[in-house]
Every structure is written in structure tokens, then in C-alpha cells.
């Protein structure tokens, strides 16, 4: 529920309400606006009537949150959340592009990709070290060696790193090197993993599961947030439908829906969303037009030689053309392409 304090509420009255809720086992989230303070409280709703909060001095209104997800909902927090990753802020006016190869393959491959995506305007670097592959016989990633290379590329370019954490066992090592944990589509409902990243202090890029509804996706975010970590970035990456021509069906309406239902930023991954590099630029442009806060794009120095996801990877040249197009589209929509800081 949300407790809306009156404009005149004193800090002592706010404290009293907070204390009362904490004593009753509620988790509190305080949001101090210019005009009034709002207290978000998550806990056993059966206890709410007996609390008689509306009778407490300074309380204007008590509003129940109807959605099954609470912390992630717009009802809980109306203003958009901005997730800070080092000097980057995702969810504000600026559009951020996370780019890099599907998998870290070698020092040369990663460094070349990193420098080229930075030059073209990407503000975060992606790359998988632990890869969730459909077949056990395909390249599984370089593991910790890949993480070290990502850290090196991050240092050379100044770009924050986004990389996938596949399981609880590898979480500590991924934590050492990454700036953002990516939770892959296949792990969206790995609740124990969600809770564990929720106990950390690093932002989490949460991909939508291939067959997850928007509500299930937001409930996955809720697992992370209710474990204490509110720094969640949602990522639409396509869902499984009857269509075979594309790898997945990129659900751009989910971007608008998620932004309507939640205050969390939403980025779009047109690479996995389509599986075809030719479709990545148009779907990127459409994603920005639909209101996405950013993109996640696979870029490989030589896609035809890629060890994973070559067919959906852009060359650095095509990526650069796309970034130019986006910088012309963003202002029309009242947004700006973010610029990388040194
Ligand atoms: C990836 O980003 O390389 C990846 C494996 O994505 P997804 O979990 O969306 O399939
Ligand atoms: Mn990939």
C-alpha cells in the first residue's frame, strides 16, 4: 500500500507512521517529494485494517496497490526510475545503447568491438563470458577469462560492462568484474538467482523470458526489488510465437505496456528479438519511437566468423550508420542520444 502524507505532515509524524509499519513487519520505501512525502509499504495486507493508519496524525490517504507486483508498479512510484551505472543514467531523457559481441571470443575480437562501438556512440559494452547456449556442443563462453577481457576493454574504453550471470555459483566472480548483471531470458524465472542478484548492490538488466507474459516479467523484477535491489532495467528481447522467419517476435507493445505499468526503464534487444541483422536497424528505430530508454545491440568485428549469434550481429560499420540514424530520430521524440564520458 501507499501512505500519502498530508502537505503539512511534520517529520515526527512521518517517523511515527514509519515506525508503526516497521513494527508490524512491513518493508518501507520512503519517497520525499517537494510537496509531500509518500510511504510505500509492503507486507501482510490482512494487518492493514487493524493498523488504522488513516487515523494517524499527518496521514492523508492510504491507497492499496492492486497489481500483484508492488515495488515495480507505477502505483508504488509514479516518476520514472533512473538507474545509475557508473557515470551513465538509464531511464532519463538520454537514450543509451549497450553494444558489443554476443560472446567474448578473444582479446583482439573484444577490444576491436569495444573501441568501434564506443567510437560509434555506444555508452555501455556488452559481451557474454558465460553463455546459455541451446546446444551443449556449441561455444559456451570463455568464463572468467572472458570477464577479465571485458574488464580490460571497459578500462580501455571507459565503458561500463554488462554481462550475463547464469547461476548462483558464478555470481561472485561475475560480481568482481561487471557493472551490470544481465539476467538472460532463460533465467527470468530462476527465482533463487533473482533473489541473489537482488541482494547485491549492482544494477540488473532483466530480460523478458521467451514465453513470459508482461505480468510475469514484472513479477520477476519484483523478486529482485523485494530482495533489496531496486536497480532493475527491463529488457524486451522477443517472445516465442508461431512465426519461424524471425528468431523471436519482438514485442514492441510490451515496451509501452511495461512503461505504463512500471516506473522501471525499458531497453530493447532487437538482435535476439529478430535473429537477423537486416532487421536490427529498423527495429531499433521502431523501439526508440515506441519509447524505449535504450537498446542492446550485438556488434561483431566479423559476424560471419562469430562463435555465436553471427547472423544477428551488425558489423561496426552498420552499427555506426544505425547510431547516426538514431541521433536524428531521438530529438523528434524529445530524447537525446547519450554521449559517453571519458
Ligand atoms: C544474449 O544477450 O547474448 C542472450 C543470450 O540473450 P537472451 O537471454 O535474451 O537470449
Ligand atoms: Mn547473443
Q: Distance of CA 52 to CAs 48, 62, 70, 340, Å? A: 7, 10, 21, 50
Cβ-in-10-Å burial (0-12, 13-18, 19+) of 188 comes to: buried
Could you give phi then psi for residue 52, rounded to 5 degrees?
Answer: 45, 50
For residue 83, list its beta bridge partners. 90
Contact present, 36 and 78 (Cβ < 8 Å)? no
Where helices occur in the chain by DSSP H, the ranges are 11-23, 48-51, 107-120, 144-157, 171-177, 191-198, 214-226, 253-261, 270-274, 280-289, 316-332
Q: CB–CB of 233/203 below 8 Å?
A: yes
Q: What pLDDT was estimated at residue 341?
A: 65
276 alpha carbon – ligand 1 mean position (Å) = 14
Residues, Cβ < 5 Å to ion ligand 2: 102, 309
pLDDT for residue 169: 97
Listing DSSP states for 74-112 in one string gives: TTT--SPP-EEETTEEETSSEEEEEEE-SB---HHHHHH
Q: If you ran DSSP here, which 8-state letter would residue 211 be given?
A: T
pLDDT at res. 49: 78
Q: What letters, b where the CB count within 10 A reaches 16 and e where it falls short, cover 195-211? A: bbbbebeebbbbbbbbe
Q: Name which residue sits closest to atom 9 of ligand 1, judged by CA.
A: 185
Closest to 309 (Cα-Cα) out of 165, 167, 128, 111: 128
Closest ligand 1 atom number to CA of residue 128: 3
- Give the domains, in start order, of the chain with CATH numbers: 2-63 (3.30.70.1140), 83-337 (3.20.20.70)
All three cell numbers of 76, joined, read 508504488
On average, the pLDDT of the chain sits at 95
pTM score, whole prediction: 0.93
CA gap 128, 170 in Å, rounded: 13
Instruction: Tell me the sheet residues that pair with 337.
Output: 95
Q: Which residues contact 13 (CB under 8 A, 6 or more apart)?
A: 5, 56, 57, 58, 59
Radius of gyration of the chain (CA): 21
What separation in Å is there between the alpha carbon of 283 and the centre of ligand 1? 17
For the stretch 141-176, pLDDT in tens is: 999 999 999 999 999 999 999 999 999 999 999 999
Partners of 89 in beta bridges: 84
Q: Please report the pLDDT score of residue 30 as a whole number.
A: 86
List the chain residues with pLDDT less than 50: none
Cα of 19 vs centre of ligand 1, distance in Å, is: 43
Eight-class DSSP state of 296: E
Ligand 1: nearest atom to the Cα of 185 = 8
- Packing angle between helix 191-198 and helix 214-226, nearest 10 degrees? 40
pLDDT for position 31? 82
Output the residue whose Cα is nearest ligand 1's atom 4. 184
Amino acid at each position: 500500500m501507499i501512505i500519502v502524507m498530508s502537505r503539512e505532515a511534520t517529520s515526527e509524524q512521518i517517523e511515527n507512521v514509519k515506525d508503526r509499519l516497521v513494527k508490524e513487519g512491513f518493508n518501507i520505501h520512503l519517497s520525499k517529494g517537494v510537496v509531500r512525502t509518500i510511504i510505500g509499504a509492503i507486507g501482510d495486507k490482512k494487518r492493514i485494517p487493524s493498523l488504522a493508519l488513516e487515523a494517524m496524525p499527518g496521514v492523508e490517504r492510504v491507497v492499496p496497490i492492486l497489481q500483484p507486483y508492488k515495488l515495480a508498479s507505477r502505483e508504488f512510484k509514479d516518476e520514472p526510475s533512473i538507474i545509475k551505472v557508473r557515470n551513465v543514467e538509464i531511464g532519463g531523457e538520454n537514450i543509451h545503447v549497450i553494444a558489443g559481441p554476443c560472446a567474448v571470443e578473444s582479446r583482439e575480437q573484444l577490444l576491436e568491438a569495444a573501441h568501434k562501438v564506443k567510437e560509434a556512440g555506444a555508452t555501455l559494452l556488452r559481451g557474454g563470458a558465460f553463455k546459455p547456449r541451446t546446444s551443449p556442443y556449441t561455444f559456451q563462453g570463455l568464463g572468467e577469462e572472458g570477464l577479465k577481457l571485458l574488464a580490460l576493454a571497459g578500462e580501455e574504453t571507459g565503458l561500463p560492462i554488462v554481462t550475463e550471470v547464469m547461476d548462483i555459483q558464478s555470481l561472485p566472480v561475475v560480481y568482481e568484474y561487471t557493472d551490470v548483471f544481465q539476467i538472460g531470458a532463460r533465467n527470468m524465472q530462476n527465482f533463487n538467482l533473482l533473489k541473489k542478484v537482488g541482494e547485491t548492490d549492482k544494477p540488473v538488466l532483466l530480460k523478458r523470458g521467451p514465453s513470459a507474459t508482461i505480468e510475469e516479467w514484472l513479477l520477476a523484477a519484483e523478486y529482485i526489488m523485494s530482495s533489496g535491489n531496486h536497480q532493475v532495467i527491463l529488457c524486451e528481447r522477443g517472445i516465442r510465437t508461431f512465426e519461424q522467419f524471425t528468431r523471436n517476435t519482438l514485442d514492441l507493445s510490451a515496451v509501452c505496456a511495461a512503461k505504463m505499468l512500471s516506473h522501471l526503464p525499458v531497453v530493447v534487444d532487437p538482435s535476439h528479438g529478430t535473429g537477423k541483422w537486416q532487421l536490427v536497424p529498423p527495429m531499433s528505430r521502431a523501439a526508440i519511437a515506441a519509447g524505449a530508454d535504450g537498446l542492446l545491440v550485438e556488434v561483431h568485428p566479423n559476424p560471419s566468423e562469430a562463435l555465436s549469434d553471427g547472423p544477428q550481429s551488425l558489423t561496426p560499420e552498420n552499427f555506426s550508420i544505425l547510431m547516426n540514424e538514431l541521433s536524428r530520430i531521438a530529438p523528434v521524440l524529445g530524447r537525446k542520444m547519450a554521449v559517453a564520458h571519458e
